[in-house]
Structure 1
Amino acid sequence: MVTLGLSQIAPWSFLCALGVGAVLSCAWRLLARAWLGPQRVALALRAQGLRGTTYRFPSGDVKEYVRLLAAARSDPMPLSSHDITARVLPFDHGIIKQHGKIAVTWFGPEPRVVVNDPKLFREILANKHGQFGKQKSILWIERLLANGLTTHQGDKWVNHRRIINHAFHLEKLKRMLPAFAACSSELVRRWVDSVGSGDVQEIDVWPEFENLTGDVISRAAFGSSFGEGRRIFQLQSEQAQNAVKMASKMYIPGYRFLPTKLNARMKANVREVEVLLKGVITKREKAMKDGLANNDDLLGVMMDSNIKESQEAGSSRPTMTTEDIIGELKLFYFAGMETTAVLLTWAMVVLSMHSEWQDRAREEVLLVFGKNQPDSEGINRLKVVTMILHEVLRLYPPILQLGREAYKETELGGVTYPPGVTFALPIVCIHHDPDVWGEDVDEFKPERFAEGIAGASKDSPAFFPFGWGPRICVGQNFALLEAKMGLSMILQNFWFELSPSYKHAPCPVSTLQPQHGAQIKLMKL
């Protein structure tokens, strides 16, 4: 029989004690994060009169959120209805009806406050005292999609915004109108050939507009054709859909570190897109050195602005690195492509439902341009078309909601919130709130924007399709200019109506997309 001495037992006892201590420490941290912390926050908020759901360990309301969304997607809407909120954001819609305009919900153990009040909406997005920021729990997902301006904060955001503002200045955008016009002309020519000698042709305009806006962003951003940018377009589209899937699983602790197919695919997409974009940047840098670059596109303007910004700061190092520029280009592709594609898609669907407004828009376009190619001066005079696009953006906002996190103790609307509380800002709910827009809120009435955005709602402004405040989308003028060009040229050449095969089913993916496509019958004029 072997007997261990004290000197042999002691090290093993010490290691075991360390192991037990580590396990207990992890268990305590997990308990504190997943149970004690949420209970403490829930009690504090209830004591201040805030209503909402009860926290359920460990996923909170995520399963119910996913269940309601799946149920809502199972059936299309009535054909002419614009009351989309219950279909596209069913959980938040139900919470607001049950608990009021400010209500507590739970994303896993994370307290999530739904804010459906325009005044508080603006206060959060204005962020005057720096108390609100991007949601830390999902920020890394956004960075996998596009580590650009929308994910940066602090000085880095300030520097990037200043440089990128130059690229989206209205005078710079006017130089890109030929690219908008060329892409729209190709689309119209393709549709004319498709209709041929027949009277009518059915086309699913959703993939057509995806191709159009992918072509536009490729040419406007990089001076290249859509064919050259097709792979980037495909990868960024897939990445956006994967990001939505990833977000629904974030209540699982450490999910992003697990070797799942979804994680692996997203990381592979990131690597491939970065290699492709680095090649675009390298070619441009060489052309600039050789004096052969035409820097009228977004990439050229951004690179020029980056050089000037660095020189003015007296720095030998560029303000934006190659990696930074890659991140912004990825964001150009996603934001510049999907936002305008869905806007044009819903505009054609809605104008097919409301032929009187289609006729009014066409009359205005023909009055301003005749059959000539639209130009910047004329586009600025399109009042009816602008009203229509604003009303489409109100009823069918491309981005359904925004999220912010309280980085420090915050007082908002008479309630004090601890750090770490996230705020869900459901744009689509604000846009469909009868208290804000009137009892006709779910009707298509472009005339509500006759005096501009400021006078369109009771609590103004309450129109947030591009966000609001200092972080409002820098590309909103780009998107609207592109949409006006595309829609004007379509109205010049076609009359259109919904196909009998069309199913009205707005569906949240990365943006608000038609679940079963957007089948439109085209007739040449």
Structure 2
Amino acid sequence: MLPTLLDVQASVGLALVSHLFYANYEPSAPTVLAVYLVGSLSYLFLAATSHPSSSPFDWIVSLAVLQTAYTASLLSSIAAYRLFFHRLRSFKGPSSLALSKWAWVPTDLAGQRPAKVTSLHATYGDVVRVGPRELSINDVGAINQILGGQSACRKGPWYTAAHGGKGPRSLSLHVTIDTGDHRSRRRIWDAGFSVAALRSYEAQLRQTTRKLLTQLDARTGGEVAMDQWCQFYAFDVMSELGFSRSFDLIGKGSFSKPIELLEGAMQAIMVLGAVPYLSAVARVAPNPIKDFEDFTEEALRERVGRSAEKKRGDDDRADIFTHLLGEDKATGWKHTWNELNADAGLVVVAGSDTTSSVLAMVIFHLVKHPDVLERVRKELHDVFGHDYEEEEHDLDFDKLAKECVWLNAVLNETMRLYPPVASGLQRESPSGASSSLVLNLKHSASTVVVPPATILSVPTTALHHDPRNFSPSPDAFRPERFVDPSKEERFEAAAFMPFGYGPTGCVGKKLAWMEMRLMLANFIGRFDANFAPGFDPEKYVRECIKDTFTMTRTAPIRMVLSRRAR
């Protein structure tokens, strides 16, 4: 049996009704799949009862014809609407991105979203349509209006994908969308990065730095993967300061479970972020995000167990979870277990993956630019004395922050070239017929009227490499631009946001600065470094730096270290 013309027409009509329903209510992916499956099974049942003489093969063929008509009509309707009738139809951008976010998946798998977005802005201008209902705004004037504390925008659907369909009390601070919840939780987090808390972490930072230097000392004269040692260092720092336990990657000197799980999870998050409605499906299937969460939950259980023992009289060394296990005194907010587990993952990701990437690329550029390295080294000698290498682990944190201008400039310039979160952060404008958002753009001295319920992003990499913000040579490594910005052709301080922006900016940036300054000052004082034979730094920048939400690399930065003469 074959479906009649009326059956096919009914499928087409149902597709149009489905499009109208989906556009207004946006059901979850599991709901859509369930309805599709129930509808198909219902048709097979009706076919079997109304045409009992036909074979099951005939019923399946008939269903396939109707499904094809339904799917083709639905996709055609969606395509026509998005290209010709959508509220963003007047904004420029590639048709493929206007049709579907699936067009981003190959780019995200290749880790090239920041480069792609920068290229799109060069082609289409400061406002580009990068999704069916998404705009990328490459203008410094839009930053505060989209990401600032007084903005009417809220976190967009990327954050839904990142938490994988978990309930509202099962989210990390980073993906918490409700502003009231975020505010209460942020106050708890802030206590873990207060001046007093940071002081309490100094001794552990020095100890972990000493362990790293000892291991690198033992490997002088041979080839080392410098970026991997930066990862080992950052992971061990964060495990000690986050959970009062060490993953001991420095001691092992090799990749182990934490890094492997994290890299798999970050790649999955990047791809799911392009197609957020898949996150709920991924949540019920084996995936690297769940594996990573299982690992962090194990670390958290051990940490909470030790906390209970310490309450019975053992000595308690303060760490970040000392504060996260407390409550917000203003509201009485206290984390649920699932929130603590989600925050355990955030501690690992935000506290290690981003920091290690910056450290690796700073060392890369210092080796590539020996003149800059010598200026930083001279400054360190001027501040701490020519024999400061003798007491490397006792460098004063305040002096590193306030007196080491070139050291800080090198860090800033590296984060400008390679922002830790390179693609920028996503927001959604208010919904409702009268909720258009008016953005005042600085560079073009114009306004843009953003329709309601539009997803917005400010592309960090594009901003950092825009000659209207940083000139001369915005793509070049020039730390002097941060030494004396007044001498630059262009230096738009507001466009520099490596740690995010506004009330949702990086809560741990002060700790990250302490960690990076201490490690680099000690490394520069103790070692000379050269690229290993056969290593091509220009090719490395072109081919091996990728974006998987945080910046990562596809090959090691191979170097040969030697101990500096005293």
TM-score band (shorter)? 0.7 to 0.9
Instruction: Report the alpha carbon displacement of residue 517 of structure 1 after superposing the two structures with TM.
Output: 1.4
Q: Distance in 2 between matches of 1:361 and 1:88?
A: 33
Secondary structure of the corresponding residue to residue 434 of structure 1: coil
Deviations 1:170-214 (A, max 9, x none): 33212212211111111111111112xxxx332111111111111
Q: Distance in 1 between matches of 2:306 and 2:165?
A: 24
Deviations 1:290-334 (A, max 9, x none): 14252421111333xx24x34x65x5xx52223322222211111
1:420 alignment counterpart? 453
2:281 alignment counterpart? 257
2:407 alignment counterpart? 385
Establish whether residue 351 from structure 1 lines up as the match of residue 366 from structure 2.
Answer: yes
Q: 1:151 aligns with which of 175, 182, 188?
A: 175
Establish whether residue 95 from structure 1 lines up as the match of residue 139 from structure 2.
Answer: no
Q: Distance in 1 between matches of 2:278 and 2:263?
A: 25
Moved more, 359-368 or 94-103: 359-368
Q: 2:146 aligns with which of 124, 130, 139?
A: 124
Q: For residues 279 and 231 of structure 1, do their structure 2 counterparts lie closer, same or farther at Cα, with a shift above 3 Å needed?
A: farther
Deviations 1:447-467 (A, max 9, x none): 211257999954331101001
Secondary structure of the corresponding residue to residue 292 of structure 1: coil
Establish whether residue 465 from structure 1 lines up as the match of residue 498 from structure 2.
Answer: yes
Alignment of 1:30-429 (within 5 A): 30=22, 34-35=78-79, 38-39=82-83, 42=86, 46=90, 50-54=91-95, 59=100, 62-63=102-103, 65-67=104-106, 89-106=114-131, 110-129=132-151, 131-142=152-163, 147-152=171-176, 153-195=178-220, 200-227=221-248, 231-232=257-258, 234-248=260-274, 250=275, 254=278, 256-257=280-281, 263-288=286-311, 290-303=312-325, 306-307=326-327, 309-310=328-329, 313=331, 319-369=334-384, 370-371=388-389, 372=391, 373=393, 374-380=395-401, 381-401=403-423, 402-408=425-431, 409=435, 410-413=437-440, 414-429=447-462
Q: For residues 356 and 458 of structure 1, do their structure 2 counterparts lie closer, same or farther at Cα, with a shift above 3 Å needed?
A: closer
Contact kept, 8 Å, 1:495 with 1:523, in 2: the verdict is: yes
Deviations 1:308-365 (A, max 9, x none): x34x65x5xx522233222222111110001110010000100011001111112222
Paired letter, 1:300: T
Contact kept, 8 Å, 2:129 with 2:136, in 1: the verdict is: yes
Establish whether residue 29 from structure 1 lines up as the match of residue 21 from structure 2.
Answer: yes
Paired letter, 1:406: S
Contact kept, 8 Å, 2:154 with 2:427, in 1: the verdict is: yes
Q: Distance in 1 between matches of 2:147 and 2:486?
A: 18
Instruction: Report the alpha carbon displacement of residue 51 of structure 1 after superposing the two structures with TM.
Output: 2.4
Instruction: Report the alpha carbon displacement of residue 267 of structure 1 after superposing the two structures with TM.
Output: 3.2
Contact kept, 8 Å, 1:45 with 1:417, in 2: the verdict is: no
Q: For residues 53 and 183 of structure 1, do their structure 2 counterparts lie closer, same or farther at Cα, with a shift above 3 Å needed?
A: same
Deviations 1:1-46 (A, max 9, x none): xxxxxxxxxxxxxxxxx99998774354347773465346645551
Q: For residues 470 and 92 of structure 1, do their structure 2 counterparts lie closer, same or farther at Cα, with a shift above 3 Å needed?
A: same
Q: For residues 487 and 176 of structure 1, do their structure 2 counterparts lie closer, same or farther at Cα, with a shift above 3 Å needed?
A: same
Secondary structure of the corresponding residue to residue 136 of structure 2: strand
Paired letter, 2:205: F
Q: For residues 143 and 211 of structure 1, do their structure 2 counterparts lie closer, same or farther at Cα, with a shift above 3 Å needed?
A: farther
2:522 alignment counterpart? 489
Paired letter, 1:178: A
Instruction: Report the alpha carbon displacement of residue 142 of structure 1 after superposing the two structures with TM.
Output: 4.2
Contact kept, 8 Å, 2:230 with 2:360, in 1: the verdict is: yes
Contact kept, 8 Å, 2:226 with 2:559, in 1: the verdict is: yes
Q: Distance in 1 between matches of 2:267 and 2:237?
A: 21
Deviations 1:377-407 (A, max 9, x none): 3323222101110111111111112211113
Contact kept, 8 Å, 2:223 with 2:561, in 1: the verdict is: yes
Q: Distance in 2 between matches of 1:22 and 1:442?
A: 52
- Alignment root-mean-square deviation, CA: 3.3
Establish whether residue 521 from structure 1 lines up as the match of residue 545 from structure 2.
Answer: no
Q: For residues 177 and 44 of structure 1, do their structure 2 counterparts lie closer, same or farther at Cα, with a shift above 3 Å needed?
A: closer
Q: Distance in 2 between matches of 1:302 and 1:44?
A: 42
1:439 alignment counterpart? 472
Q: For residues 41 and 490 of structure 1, do their structure 2 counterparts lie closer, same or farther at Cα, with a shift above 3 Å needed?
A: farther
Instruction: Report the alpha carbon displacement of residue 101 of structure 1 after superposing the two structures with TM.
Output: 1.1
Q: Unaligned stretches of 5+ in structure 2?
A: 1-9, 27-77, 251-255, 441-446
Paired letter, 1:506: I
Secondary structure of the corresponding residue to residue 150 of structure 1: coil
Contact kept, 8 Å, 1:170 with 1:477, in 2: the verdict is: no
Q: Distance in 1 between matches of 2:525 and 2:229?
A: 18
Q: Distance in 2 between matches of 1:57 and 1:476?
A: 36
Q: Distance in 2 between matches of 1:444 and 1:254?
A: 39
* Number of aligned residues: 470
Secondary structure of the corresponding residue to residue 151 of structure 1: coil
Q: Distance in 1 between matches of 2:280 and 2:245?
A: 35
Q: For residues 272 and 482 of structure 1, do their structure 2 counterparts lie closer, same or farther at Cα, with a shift above 3 Å needed?
A: closer
2:73 alignment counterpart? none
Q: Distance in 2 between matches of 1:448 and 1:207?
A: 29
Contact kept, 8 Å, 1:284 with 1:293, in 2: the verdict is: no
Paired letter, 1:502: F
Instruction: Report the alpha carbon displacement of residue 468 of structure 1 after superposing the two structures with TM.
Output: 1.2
Give the TM-score of the pair, scaled to structure 2: 0.75
Paired letter, 2:452: P
Q: For residues 227 and 111 of structure 1, do their structure 2 counterparts lie closer, same or farther at Cα, with a shift above 3 Å needed?
A: same
Instruction: Report the alpha carbon displacement of residue 88 of structure 1 after superposing the two structures with TM.
Output: 6.0
Contact kept, 8 Å, 1:149 with 1:157, in 2: the verdict is: yes
Contact kept, 8 Å, 2:82 with 2:89, in 1: the verdict is: no
Contact kept, 8 Å, 1:177 with 1:375, in 2: the verdict is: no
Contact kept, 8 Å, 1:147 with 1:331, in 2: the verdict is: no
Contact kept, 8 Å, 2:472 with 2:488, in 1: the verdict is: no
Paired letter, 1:38: R
Moved more, 426-435 or 407-416: 407-416
Q: Distance in 1 between matches of 2:467 and 2:460?
A: 14
Q: For residues 389 and 264 of structure 1, do their structure 2 counterparts lie closer, same or farther at Cα, with a shift above 3 Å needed?
A: closer
Q: Distance in 2 between matches of 1:120 and 1:454?
A: 26
